[in-house]
Structure 1
Amino acid sequence: MEKLRNIVPGDNSRPTEIPPGDSNIAYYGRWDRSDPGYYHSYWGGAYLKVRFTGTSVKINLNKSTSLLVNIDNTGDKLFHNVNGTVNLTPDELLPGTHSIKVAAQYDEMELVFQGLILDPEAETLAPLISQNKIVEFIGDSITTGADNPNGDGDAFAWLASDLLGVEHTQISDPGIALVDGYGSSPSGMETAYFKLKTPNYTTTNSDWDHSTYTPAAIVVNLGSNDHYSNIDPALFQSRYIVFLTNLRGKYPDAEIFGLRLFNGWFETEVQNAVEARIVAGDAKVHYVDTAGWLQGYGTTTTVDYVQKSTGFSVHPSRLGHSKAAKQLVPILKPYLNLPFTQQQYP
């Protein structure tokens, strides 16, 4: 497929405009690409990646948002509450080839992406790895990195993926429960997961096309908001089994991991649900015992959880997310069969 560019013939002084449909841009997460003029991301942490030449890059946005931007793997930089044409390189880059990753900071910070602007005669380049593996994380505010400065970018899901050298998606939303009718979201993840948009879209929300990408692994971290809603543990367990079954129906070959909640809620029920699927013949579903990963839940002195003036929080701190990511990586890695060169992307 030929790369799309918008250059005036014979004019070497005009910036190079790169539209959303440029074939060298890789998209991760749930994006609506039905309008060629802009691509709209849904669910927090959705991102795009591309390599480019030149010394500068700008992004065109059609909605106010907050961005996490990582150029040349130098770390995430937050661009807060930006819109329109945004200069992502206020400090000019050295001439050469660069990489960029642009993400939505948080669950309601969607990207309405209208393209990039590069230097005159600059261009985008194909990724060094064209088929990078994807790990999908399904969760609530914990998986979105709530109460941390970079939001999704501080979450264990993001950090573990970076450590593994894989791509990822964060299908997570604050307040959401597993079971419909519980939690603060209009629907539980048992329904919302199968939709293009988050539960915040209560009127028009089409089904997600699960053939768009195929995760190599899926990590489920759900139950906190079911707990807050006083669900019957037996009901939670039965619906967890159904959810795992429905995930398997969409992704027959994915390795699926059910995490014990970091603070231990529904430990027995999650483990029982995973065991039920194994007994049913699913050899690619696994229970992850997170006991001991984080310390001090429910205390006002712990450094592993966010401290609030209103009391203790269920949300891990930056340190807590980092600890959880480092514990999760060696569990996932044997199932991903990663080549050494995986670390070199993009």
Structure 2
Amino acid sequence: MALLRRGLLAAALLAAGLTAGLIATPSAAQAAVGDGSPSDTNIAYYGRWDTTNGAAYVPGFAGAYLETGFTGRTVKIRQRNAIDLFYSIDGAAWTYIQNVSGTVNLTPSALASGTHRLRVSYRVVAGSYHGDAVFQGLVLDSGARTVAVARPARLLEFIGDSITVGTTSSQNALTAYGWLTGEQLGAAHTQIAQGGACLVSAADGCVGMADRFLRVNTTAGSALWNFNRYQASAVVINLGTNDVGHAVSTTTFQAVYTQLLRDIRAKYPNAAIFALKTFTGRYAAQTQAAVAAVNDPRTFYVVTDGWLPSGGLTDNVHPNDAGHRAIAARLAPIVSAQI
């Protein structure tokens, strides 16, 4: 009878869990903690990561990264196919490795014994990951484990095109103003951006970030992003540089920008939203009018005149490292004042 009662109780609890929408079992979640697998909860993922396949996590935009602590003297990363990536251990300068695949040793010289900290971000070309950006986990020393790292209380999201990606800067997303601003403020951060992108999805194929903001990655028709995964403390938009070359009218631009602001507010009820005047000045009046149209006290139009120093561009459009540092120096206090 005792066994029967326990069996009935277990069945009742299972039924209750299913009714409440509980799909993952506690034992499965606990088994992953510390083992370095993609589902290891000691690994923190920042940005839009597709976690549909529990054995292979895929970042969807520039500026996504992962972070964890680990014990032992070595760490390796498992990659499916060839990829270029950046990594940093214990806050050291970023190391860039190219065309690596399989189990990749990130510690060719063994570390001192103890607890260490790892960050990994994949290189981007024109907003897309260069190579096969599929993270399949970490390999640690025998008896070693991952260790949770304190997560920043705030997260900043930057929506844009190749300027936000960091195209022509020395380390792409890692030397772009969004990454630099987040680091300066001690906040987590991600760049929802693609090289060549427009605000508006144009008939000639220009990727419209007003649509992609809602999605897991830059692919048209990709799955909608689950905004319950994280809440941004601030969102910075820098769009409009490319639309003029794709026959986007000022009327359409203003209407779509207004809707984007409303979508952001719906997804992030408490975020401060900053609409930057593009550094070229394109669609400035329409961007400002969109901010006025939403009439939201937490949405701001930011005039960027004079932010780029002499010699701060690689070409006529893209900031170099010095240009990105100058932008971050002007933007960080504006964001900080509102969050």
Alignment check: 8 A CA contact 2:36 2:43 kept: no
Alignment check: 8 A CA contact 2:33 2:42 kept: no
Query: Which residue type is aligned with residue 189 of structure 1?
Result: M
* CA deviation profile, 1:171-198 (whole Å, cap 9, x unmatched): 100111001216753x411212111121
Cα separation, 2, equivalents of 1:68 and 1:289: 33
What is the CA-CA distance between 1:213 and the residue it aligns to? Answer: 0.9
Query: Which residue type is aligned with residue 291 of structure 1?
Result: D
Alignment check: 8 A CA contact 1:176 1:184 kept: no
Q: Which residue of 1 aligns with 2:71?
A: 53
* CA deviation profile, 1:242-273 (whole Å, cap 9, x unmatched): 11111111111111100111222222221221
Supply the RMSD in Å over aligned alpha carbons. 1.8
Determine whether 1:30 maps to 2:58: no
Quickly say closer, same or farther: Cα 1:5–1:193, change in 2 above 3 A.
Answer: closer
Q: Which residue of 2 aligns with 1:14?
A: none
One of 173, 178, 181 as aligned partner of 2:194: 173
Return 5+ residue gaps in structure 2 as ranges: 1-28
One of 212, 217, 223 as aligned partner of 2:240: 223
Query: Which residue type is aligned with residue 119 of structure 1?
Result: D
Alignment check: 8 A CA contact 2:43 2:68 kept: yes
Q: Which residue of 1 aligns with 2:231?
A: 214
One of 175, 192, 200 as aligned partner of 1:154: 175
Q: Which residue of 2 aligns with 1:341?
A: none
SS at structure 2 position matched to 1:248: helix
What is the CA-CA distance between 1:93 and the residue it aligns to? Answer: 1.6
Alignment check: 8 A CA contact 1:135 1:168 kept: yes
Query: Which residue type is aligned with residue 192 of structure 1?
Result: R
| Percent identity for Structure 1 against Structure 2 | 38
1:1-346 to 2 correspondence within 5 Å?
A: 2=30, 4=32, 18-106=36-124, 107-109=127-129, 111-129=133-151, 132-181=153-202, 184-185=205-206, 187-199=207-219, 202=220, 205-278=222-295, 282-295=296-309, 302-306=310-314, 312-336=315-339
Which structure shows the higher helix fraction?
A: 2
Alignment check: 8 A CA contact 2:77 2:106 kept: yes
What is the CA-CA distance between 1:3 and the residue it aligns to? Answer: 5.3
Cα separation, 2, equivalents of 1:222 and 1:265: 9
What is the CA-CA distance between 1:134 and the residue it aligns to? Answer: 0.7
SS at structure 2 position matched to 1:315: coil
What is the CA-CA distance between 1:229 and the residue it aligns to? Answer: 2.0
* CA deviation profile, 1:47-80 (whole Å, cap 9, x unmatched): 1100111111110011322111121112222112
Quickly say closer, same or farther: Cα 1:181–1:155, change in 2 above 3 A.
Answer: same
Which structure shows the higher strand fraction?
A: 1
Larger Rg: 2
Cα separation, 2, equivalents of 1:182 and 1:229: 8
Cα separation, 1, equivalents of 2:153 and 2:204: 34
Query: Which residue type is aligned with residue 135 of structure 1?
Result: L
